[in-house]
Structure 1
Amino acid sequence: MNGKWSLLAVTAMMAFTLTACGGKSGEPASQTSGGSEAQGETVTLKFLNISEYLDSSEFKAFLERFEAKYPNIKVDPVSVPHEQYINKRNIMLASGEQVDLIWGNGVEQFDAINKNFLMPLDDVAKEADIDMSADFGDFKPDKDGKYYRFPIQQNNWMLYYNKKVFDDAGVPYPDPKVPMTWDEMAEVAQKLTNLSGKDKVYGMFYNNWGMYFYGYGSQLNNGKFYTDDGKVNIDAPEFKRSLEWMNDVMNVRKAAMPIAELIQNNTDFLSYWNGNYGMVVGAQWYAQLAATKKEQFPRDWKAGIAPMPVPAEMAGKHMNWSSIDSLAIPKNAKHPKESLILAKEYVSDYTLSTGALPMYTKVTKDKYFENLADALKDDDITLEQVTYLFGGDPDVVNVEEKPVLGAPQEYESTFLDLISQYYTGAETVDAVLEQVKVKVDNAIEEQSKQ
């Protein structure tokens, strides 16, 4: 998710209204009292976020609850389509325009940190009764020992599969607890592929997002996207091996759609649900779609879930690509304390109402797992599977999903701009990776001078 998956993922969000921290259905999960805040002068917060979130019915309902709870805090949503979001954010923050709270994925928020747009949250968090080191699990400071991000959720990645495609090919379903290796996945994808019929069936679906090409390598080298001196490490052997694996699946085994066709067709992650694919690696938003959007995406097949594939060297381990969406307060915010109160309520109330599990530890998890399992029961997905794969396994091995430190926006966009040249045969993998390294190293150098 560059951040494109965040745009698409929200269209798949669940419309659950879950009970958390003992509250009634539809009430905010946070335990923050609105009384003291309600007594002060009325302030208005400018909240910059993508339109795919702000324009949703879930957000509008949340805003009504929030402003009723905090009558002295009004919210002015600034809604921007995700493909325009980063440019709009940069213009607003660089010009000094007042913005009180901004949303972003890992790449976007670290880009803002590197551009010196954000204020550290440590002091203002204490005013808002938030412990940044304890209230979000194992969440580490972002830079120089300070926190700049208020975490929303960590994505949980897994393997989704089409049981009908497996049945038609006579292939056993993936094990619900033991992950396939990537090599085993390639073999299974080839067995599932049928390109001779009226509708092509590819064994594997993928998105034109970075992790689908380099994510296998991140598992191998523990997310080492940068060298020890802060330069680009994308030409490391582990990432090259990852890219070559995808080339084998796509161009040798013919078990995934050619990248030129995928791009030309404007294929997005929703396309998986047309039923012509056997497997896809995806985060929790695929299950949310499976559970709640059956009328929008009708299907005559059942979905299954299993652990995401791992390299042979990690066989048997439960692994996850770790990426954290978050909220942050720009330096030019007028009302930092009230902004963090909005952030806390957004995470524990709005996020939960969409069917996503917040990282905020003051929100209970058990009811979330139970509701999600109930929504997926028609696919014969059990509570045990949901709990294990959607954040309930304390032993899961998390590795970086994407580069987020030096020039993260340039790193991801440059990689995606150039990688298709390898998969279409125009360039060798070594030539492409060298070009990415040179361009992004230059961007890192330029940003270090700012």
Structure 2
Amino acid sequence: MNMKKTVYVTLSAVLLTGALTACGASTENDTPSKASATSGAKGSEPIKLTFASWSISEAATKGALEEMVKNYEAKNTNVKIEFVGIPFADIKQQTFVMASTGNAPDIIQTFPAWFGSYAASDIITPLDDLMGKAYVDDLMPSFKEDFSYNGKLMGVPWAPTPYILYYNKEIFKKAGLPDKAPATVEELLKAAKAISSLKTDSGQKIYGFGEPTDKLAINGEIAMRNLYSFGGSILDKEGKVNANTPEMVNTLSYYKGLVKDGIGPSGAKLKDLRNLFSIGQLGMYVDGNYGKAVFRNLSGKGAEFDKVWGAAPIPAGVSGKSVSIGEAHGLVVSADSKHKQAAADFIKYLTDKEAISIYHQKNDVISARKSLSSMFTESDFDKVLMQQMNNIQPLPKNHPGMEQAYIDIADALLKVSTDTATPEKAAQELDAKLKTSLK
């Protein structure tokens, strides 16, 4: 499949012109020697690497990225890193536009829900040889699989996080519950039921537990956690789509029950749940490690709000074990890059001890590298994250249609939570859609 020269070239001239202006560094005509392609070679010819990122445009992460780059450039004086800030919602589209004319950034930040579009295209390059066997073998298997395609490592997991449970201690106390996270799904639903009978001091409803069900790809990705918890998958043992199963029906029934029983809101986005949790209208929800920074901001209480919430591993499902998914921002090297090895070396730095230490200090980021896992044991929050990291399952194998498949899953969630389809009907319809999306 050649995704580089097709649909994206038809996008507006304004978008294309802006993208090319931002990323002119990738049009260099020089072919570097072996020495100049290695970023650590001080005194060799200058190298400019363009790095397309949404994190550099966000206040919460901008400072950490700038500090990492400053440190890297100080040690590698022949390398200059130039950020290309693109919003999260636009980065996939814009980088494909850039690639359609041979002007893709050297390094691109990407995301699991739509990584399959990159992996199956010709705009990025395999990383096994560029990163080296020792580095590739050091990646945690689940995250390595999430960024592989047809047996090749196509992206590097960066800023990984498992999904964990957050609970509001003040709401638990108000509901007469112990200051202890539920250990099983049954305990979670029981606690959520008690919480959902409460109201705020101003008379607003307090939900017990929320799941995101709006029709977005990320919500379909998050739903894999619940499907795994019920012992299911969207693929059979031969790798073929099989979503019309009792496990899928049970998963959809679970989503339906949250709304029907008044436990959770209908059609919520993840940002809605974060806001409700931060203002005391949601007792529990599941999110990544970035919840901490979000709560501090949305609550208006800063670090003081840390006293209000607790974190715990995902409650055990039918298997009796805590099962979650991991999510990581990905870093890829474009096929257009004239400095692929230098780009890979910079990615190594971004995922090495010094850079991850900076990122962890500012944003609670952890690592997908096995050799660095012992770094994250300072706080109780770190310990919960690392405990869950040992109990995650990889997402379905990357496929060009995986983003649409996640949207199809989210659509099924929305239908059952809004009572426009039964779980049985939604599972049947989803199976048919996935057989088209993932054919």
Coarse TM-score class (shorter-chain normalised): 0.7 to 0.9
Of 169, 172, 175, the match for 1:169: 175
Q: CA deviation at 1:410?
A: 0.9
Is 1:330 the equivalent of 2:334? yes
Of 229, 239, 242, the match for 2:251: 242
Of 219, 236, 240, the match for 1:227: 236
Tell me how far apart the structure 2 counterparts of residues 240 and 387 of structure 1 sit (CA, whole Å). 35
Is 1:72 the equivalent of 2:78? yes
- For 1:233-268, what per-residue CA distance to the aligned partner results, in whole angstroms no more than 9, with x for missing partners? 3333212211111211211x2111122xx36x9725
For structure 2, the residue ranges without an aligned partner over 5 or more in a row are 1-37, 214-218
Tell me how far apart the structure 2 counterparts of residues 413 and 66 of structure 1 sit (CA, whole Å). 38
Tell me how far apart the structure 1 counterparts of residues 130 and 339 of structure 2 sit (CA, whole Å). 10
Contact 2:243 2:427 in 1 (8 A): yes
Normalising by structure 2, we get a TM-score of: 0.77
Equivalent residue number for residue 147 of structure 1? 153
Is 1:258 the equivalent of 2:266? yes
Q: CA deviation at 1:39?
A: 2.0
Tell me how far apart the structure 2 counterparts of residues 190 and 305 of structure 1 sit (CA, whole Å). 19
How many positions carry a matched residue from both structures? 384
Equivalent residue number for residue 220 of structure 2? 210
Q: Which amino acid aligns with 1:333?
A: S
Equivalent residue number for residue 31 of structure 1? none
Equivalent residue number for residue 38 of structure 1? 42
Partner SS for 1:310: coil
Of 106, 110, 121, the match for 1:104: 110
Tell me how far apart the structure 2 counterparts of residues 300 and 69 of structure 1 sit (CA, whole Å). 37
Is 1:345 the equivalent of 2:349? yes
Name the % identity: 18
For structure 1, the residue ranges without an aligned partner over 5 or more in a row are 1-33, 374-382, 446-450
Partner SS for 1:369: coil
Closer/same/farther in 2, CA of residues 441 and 393 from structure 1, 3 Å limit = closer
Of 385, 390, 397, the match for 1:390: 385
Equivalent residue number for residue 199 of structure 1? 204
Normalising by structure 1, we get a TM-score of: 0.76
Closer/same/farther in 2, CA of residues 213 and 393 from structure 1, 3 Å limit = closer
Contact 2:313 2:388 in 1 (8 A): no
Q: CA deviation at 1:285?
A: 1.8
Contact 1:290 1:303 in 2 (8 A): no
Closer/same/farther in 2, CA of residues 94 and 272 from structure 1, 3 Å limit = farther
Contact 1:308 1:320 in 2 (8 A): yes
Is 1:87 the equivalent of 2:93? yes
- For 1:354-391, what per-residue CA distance to the aligned partner results, in whole angstroms no more than 9, with x for missing partners? 3211223454634x431xx2xxxxxxxxx4xx354221
Tell me how far apart the structure 2 counterparts of residues 47 and 400 of structure 1 sit (CA, whole Å). 27
Of 409, 413, 417, the match for 1:415: 409
Aligned-residue Cα RMSD (Å) equals: 3.0
Is 1:426 the equivalent of 2:383? no
Tell me how far apart the structure 2 counterparts of residues 109 and 266 of structure 1 sit (CA, whole Å). 21
Partner SS for 2:329: strand
Contact 1:159 1:282 in 2 (8 A): yes
Of 307, 312, 330, the match for 1:306: 312
Equivalent residue number for residue 320 of structure 1? 324
Regions of 4+ moved over 6 Å: 291-294
